Amino acid sequence: MTHAPIPGYRYDDPHLPESPVTAGDLEGLTAATLFSDTDVAALKLAGEVLADQTEQILDVWYGFVGSHPHLLAYFSTPEGVPVDAYLAGVRRRFGQWITDTCTRPYDARWLAQQEEIALRHTSAKKNATDGVRSVPHVPLRYLIAFIYPITATMRPFLAAKGHAEEEVEAMHQAWFKAVTLQVALWARPYAGAAW
Amino acid sequence: MTHAPIPGYRYDDPHLPESPVTAGDLEGLTAATLFSDTDVAALKLAGEVLADQTEQILDVWYGFVGSHPHLLAYFSTPEGVPVDAYLAGVRRRFGQWITDTCTRPYDARWLAQQEEIALRHTSAKKNATDGVRSVPHVPLRYLIAFIYPITATMRPFLAAKGHAEEEVEAMHQAWFKAVTLQVALWARPYAGAAW
Residue A93 domain flag: yes
Whole-prediction pTM value? 0.97
Residue in chain A nearest B194 by alpha carbon: A139
Q: Is A168 on the interface with B (CB under 8 A)?
A: no
Amino acid (one-letter) located at B17: P
- Going by C-alpha positions, the residue among A129, A136, A139 that lies closest to residue A88 is A129
Distance between CA A73 and CA A139 in Å, rounded? Answer: 11
Domain that holds residue A62: 27-190
Residue A76's DSSP bridge partners are: A82
Interface of B with A in 13-52 (CB under 8 A): 25, 28-29, 31-34
Amino acid (one-letter) located at A178: A
Q: How confident is the model at residue B1 (pLDDT cuts 50, 70, 90)?
A: very low
Instruction: Give the gap in angstroms from C-alpha A113 to the nearest C-alpha of chain B.
Output: 17
Q: How confident is the model at residue B25 (pLDDT cuts 50, 70, 90)?
A: very high
What pLDDT, in 10s, does the model give residues B152-194?
999 999 999 999 999 999 999 999 999 999 999 999 999 999 9
Amino acid (one-letter) located at B116: E
Residue B82's DSSP bridge partners are: B76
For residue A1, the model assigns a pLDDT of 46
Q: Do B191 and A190 lie within an 8 Å CB cutoff?
A: yes
Mean pLDDT of A3-28: 94
Residue in chain B nearest A190 by alpha carbon: B191
Q: Do A144 and B144 lie within an 8 Å CB cutoff?
A: yes
Q: Residues near A131 by Cβ (< 8 Å), separated by ≥ 6?
A: none
For residue A4, the model assigns a pLDDT of 80
Residue B88 domain flag: yes
Q: Is A173 on the interface with B (CB under 8 A)?
A: yes
The answer, yes or no, to whether residue A75 has pLDDT greater than 80, is: yes
The answer, yes or no, to whether residue B56 has pLDDT greater than 80, is: yes
What size, in residues, is chain A? 195
Residue in chain B nearest A169 by alpha carbon: B152
The region of weakest confidence among A4-13, A60-69, B39-48, B120-129 is: A4-13
Residue A59 domain flag: yes
Which of B144, B175, B181 has the highest number of chain A CBs within 10 A, making it the mutation to test binding with A?
B144
For residue B2, the model assigns a pLDDT of 54
Mean pLDDT of A94-121: 98
Residue B136 domain flag: yes
Domain count, chain A: 1
Instruction: Give the gap in angstroms from C-alpha B63 to the nearest C-alpha of chain A.
Output: 13
Give the side-chain half-sphere CA count within 13 A for B136. Answer: 5
Q: What CATH number did the domain enclosing A125 receive?
A: 1.10.490.10
Residue A98 domain flag: yes
DSSP codes of every residue in A87-150: HHHHHHHHHHHHHHHHHS--SHHHHHHHHHHHHHTSTTTTTTTTT----S---HHHHHHTHHHH
- Mean pLDDT (chain A) is 97
- Going by C-alpha positions, the residue among A134, A132, A61, A130 that lies closest to residue A89 is A130
Residue A104 domain flag: yes
The answer, yes or no, to whether residue A2 has pLDDT greater than 70, is: no
What pLDDT, in 10s, does the model give residues A128-152?
999 999 999 999 999 999 999 999 9
Instruction: Give the gap in angstroms from C-alpha B147 to the nearest C-alpha of chain A.
Output: 7
What pLDDT, in 10s, does the model give residues B70-124?
999 999 999 999 999 999 999 999 999 999 999 999 999 999 999 999 999 999 9
Residue B94 domain flag: yes
The answer, yes or no, to whether residue B3 has pLDDT greater than 80, is: no
Q: Is A176 on the interface with B (CB under 8 A)?
A: yes
Instruction: Give the gap in angstroms from C-alpha A4 to the nearest C-alpha of chain B.
Output: 33
Q: Do B139 and A70 lie within an 8 Å CB cutoff?
A: no
Q: Is A8 exposed, middle or buried (0-12, 13-18, 19+ CB in 10 A)?
A: middle
Q: Do A180 and B71 lie within an 8 Å CB cutoff?
A: no
Which residues of chain B form beta strands (DSSP E)? none
The answer, yes or no, to whether residue A159 has pLDDT greater than 70, is: yes
| CA A184-A145-A125 angle, 5° bins | 60
For residue B4, the model assigns a pLDDT of 80
Residue A9 domain flag: no
